[in-house]
Amino acid sequence: MDTMKWEENVRRVVPYVAGEQPNRPKMIKLNTNECPYPPAPGVRKLAENLNCDALRLYPDSNTTPLVNALAEYYHVKPEQVFVGVGSDDVISMAFMTFFNSEKPILFPDVTYSFYDVWAELYRIPYKTCALKEDWHIDPVDYRQPNGGVIFPNPNAPTGLFEELDVVEEILEANRDVVVIVDEAYIDFGGVSVLPLLEKYDNLLVVQTFSKSRAMAGLRIGFCIGSEKMIRYLNDVKYSFNSYTMNYPAQVLGVEAVRDDAYFKETTGKIIKTRERVKKELTELGFTFPDSRANFIFAKHKTIPGDQIFRALRERDIYVRHWNKPRISEYLRITIGTDEEMDELIGFLREYIPTGNA
Ligand code: PMP
């Protein structure tokens, strides 16, 4: 087709590709790191009794009750909390707000594949730093001149957690730029860098309700940083869309934060399942970085990743596979319920020829 004149001015981007969301009756969905358990019982109760009349009005643009609930839970001031439509929205706003330098922002070569998409969208120069052979971040890489730093901890899709001294080494070397630590998977056995906020006013910690709080469908994410950073972030948000968080998400989100016992119970169950699946995958001939997330990034010693991926799919078991440098032999397997993982392991036991395990 001919290119039209107006197309010269189009902001062209290659969009991020999310994991597919098939909806088949008996499928086992282990491809997008969702929580296999329902949201907290109080959330269900509230959802069933949601005040529909309130939908007539615009929601609270400050998301005040949710901000207050998070501030109380994480022992920070409400002025240090910013809430968005999933952590994707929060990170996207943070890119727009804080990454505005001629120098490249830095992030790992193998990481959440939305970072380069946002950088391209906002025309932010970026440079990736290769993870070490063992998939760990090398903090030395983050000593070069840059316009900001972002990395997930635990990293995705490796699941590897960096100890706080590694994160602090990066923070120490980058006091003049904003450092974003994306803690989407922190609740599955990692240790949050939140306490470092007292020392570093350029640190922004991002978390989400999508994984550990079983609310991917509602889209709630948040970040915590210095009051000054949150003010800048709000200025950009209010210049973009005042009412990002809808009313149901705001009220149901508060309820999810309140039920800490349920949160600890479900994350604890996922961790327990993950640890036993690690043993079973090892017995089947898989190797993987030692995940502290709600997924395992595994490679088989003889069978190619895409082959196992396709075989699983035929059985309606969905995992994630990328045809990308360094990771094409790997499958990212979300931790489901024990029953779902039994099905996966059962299939693999049949599929992998004896002697190859
Ligand atoms: N960060 C990382 C590392 C992720 O894997 C994801 C999930 N795709 C997100 C952020 C975004 O999650 P959400 O927008 O659902 O909060």
Same domain, 102 and 17: no
Residues in the chain: 357
What's 72's domain CATH number? Answer: 3.40.640.10
85 Cα: distance to centroid of ligand 1 (angstroms): 11
Q: Which pair of structure tokens corresponds to residue 325?
A: 């440098």
Same domain, 277 and 182: no
Among residues 223, 242, 259, which one ends one of the domains? 259
**Domains identified in the chain, total number:** 2
What is the per-residue pLDDT for 157?
97
Rounded CA separation 4/60 (Å):
43
Among residues 237, 259, 281, which one ends one of the domains? 259
212 Cα: distance to centroid of ligand 1 (angstroms): 11
What is the per-residue pLDDT for 26?
86
pTM: 0.97
- Residue minimizing CA distance to atom 12 of ligand 1: 87
Same domain, 159 and 233: yes
- Percentages (nearest 5) of helix, strand, coil residues in the chain: 40, 15, 45
152 lines ligand 1 (CB under 6 A): yes
Domain annotation covers residue 357: no
- Which letter, b or e, does each residue of 89-108 get, where b requires 16 or more Cβ atoms within 10 Å of its Cβ? bbbbbbbbbbbebebbbbbb
Parts of the chain with a pLDDT under 50: none
Token pair 């009750």 is found at: 65
What's 268's domain CATH number? Answer: 3.90.1150.10
What is the per-residue pLDDT for 1?
72
Among residues 206, 234, 259, which one ends one of the domains? 259
What is the per-residue pLDDT for 349?
97
Rounded CA separation 203/201 (Å):
6
Calculate the alpha carbon distances from 179 to 117, 132, 157, 168, 226 in Å. 18, 20, 20, 11, 12
Q: Which of 20, 32, 34, 88 to mutate to test the pocket of ligand 1 (most atoms within 8 A of CB)?
A: 88
Other residues' Cβ atoms within 10 Å of the Cβ of residue 61: 14
Same domain, 233 and 275: no
Rounded CA separation 205/148 (Å):
14
Same domain, 269 and 254: no
Same domain, 237 and 313: no
Strand order, beta sheet including 330-334 = 286-287, 295-300, 330-334
112 lines ligand 1 (CB under 6 A): yes
Same domain, 143 and 174: yes
Same domain, 70 and 152: yes
> What residue numbers bound the domain in which 115 lies?
41-259
211 Cα: distance to centroid of ligand 1 (angstroms): 8
Same domain, 153 and 245: yes
